[in-house]
Structure 1
Amino acid sequence: MSVRLVEIFLPDTETVRLESILARHCRRYWRGTVPGEQERYSCLLQQRYTERLLKELEAEFGDVPSFSTYVGQIEAAYPPIYENRESELRLDESEPPPSRLERFFSRDRLSTDELYDDIADSLIIRPSYLMTVFFSAIIASLGMRSGQTAVVIGAMIIAPLLGPTLGLALAATIGNARVGIKAGTTLAVGSVLAVISGAIVGASVTIDPLVPELLNRTVVQPADIALSLACGAAGVLAFSRGSSMTLVGVMIAVALVPPLSATGVYLAAGYPEAAGGALYLFAINLVCVNAAGIATFLLQGLPPKDWRATGGILAVWTLVLILLASMMACRFALGFASLVERLQTLSGV
Structure 2
Amino acid sequence: MNLRLLEIDTSNTQQDQVLALLKAFPCLDVWQSSGSEQISIRVTLPTTQVEAVLNQLREHLPELGNPRVMILPIETMWPMPDLDAPCNQATARLSREEIYANVAQPLQLSWTQLGMVTLSTLIAAIGLLKSSEAIIIGAMVLAPLLQPILGVAVAAVLGDSVLAKRSIKIGSISIGLALGLSILLGIVFPISTDLPEIMARVSVGPLDVGLAIAAGIASALSLTTDNQNAIVGVMVAVALLPPLVVLGLLLGSGEWTLAPGALLLVVTNVIGLNLAATTTLMAQNIQPQSQRWQAQHYTQWVIGIGMVFVLGIMSMVTWQHSSILGAFLQRI
TM-score (norm 1): 0.84
**Does structure 1 residue 317 correspond to structure 2 residue 303?**
no
Give the % identical residues.
27
> Where does structure 2 lack aligned partners over 5 or more consecutive residues?
328-332
SS for the counterpart of 1:128 is: helix
**8 A contact 1:237–1:296 mirrored in 2:** yes
Is residue 248 from structure 1 mapped to residue 237 from structure 2 by the alignment? no
Match of 1:146 among 97, 115, 130: 130
Whether contact under 8 Å (1:6, 1:71) holds in the other structure is: yes
Residue equivalent to 2:273: 289
Secondary structure (helix, strand or coil) at the match of 1:173 reads helix
Q: Deviations over 1:151-205 (max 9, x none)?
A: 1100111131122111011111222111111101111111111111211221222
Using the TM superposition, give the Cα deviation of residue 244 of structure 1 relative to its aligned residue in structure 2, in angstroms: 2.6
The verdict on how the C-alpha distance between 1:150 and 1:299 changes in structure 2, with shifts beyond 3 A counting, is same
Question: In structure 2, do the counterparts of structure 1 residues 335 and 277 end up closer, same or farther at CA, with 3 Å as the change threshold?
Answer: farther
SS of 2:257 mapped into structure 1: helix
Flag the 1:179–1:56 CA change in 2: closer, same or farther, 3 A. same
**Structural mapping, 1:319-338, within 5 Å:** 319-334=308-323
What do residues 83-137 of structure 1 show as CA deviations (whole Å, max 9, x unaligned)? Answer: 76xx669xxxxxxxxxxxxx98xx2422121122222233221111111111111
The separation in 2 between residues aligned to 1:157 and 1:64, in whole angstroms, is: 47
SS at match of 1:273: coil
Which residue number corresponds to residue 98 of structure 1? none
Residue 8 of structure 2 contacts residue 69 of structure 2 at CA under 8 Å; is this kept in 1? yes
Q: Which residue in 1 is equivalent to 2:244? A: 260
Aligned-pair CA distance for 1:138: 1.4
2:76 matches 1:76:
yes
Q: Which residue of 1 aligns with 2:56?
A: 56
Superposition pairs for residues 261-276 of structure 1, below 5 Å?
261-276=245-260
* Residues 327 and 143 of structure 1: CA distance in aligned 2, closer, same or farther (over 3 Å): same
Where does 1:102-113 land on structure 2 (aligned, <5 Å)? 107-113=91-97
User: Could you say what the CA RMSD is over the residues aligned between the two structures, in angstroms?
Assistant: 2.5
User: C-alpha separation between the residues in 1 aligned to 2:326 and 2:168?
Assistant: 35
Equivalence map 1:1-349=2 (5 Å): 1-25=1-25, 27-35=28-36, 37-62=37-62, 64-65=64-65, 67-77=67-77, 78=79, 80=81, 107-244=91-228, 247-252=230-235, 254-304=238-288, 305-306=292-293, 308-309=296-297, 310-334=299-323
**TM-score where L is the length of structure 2:** 0.88
Task: Return closer, same or farther for 1:276/1:335 CA change in 2, 3 Å cut-off.
Answer: farther
Aligned length: 319
Asked if the contact 1:11/1:66 (under 8 Å) is kept, the reply is no
Match of 2:4, SS state, is strand
The residue type equivalent to 1:30 in the other structure is: W
- Residue 330 of structure 2: aligned partner: none
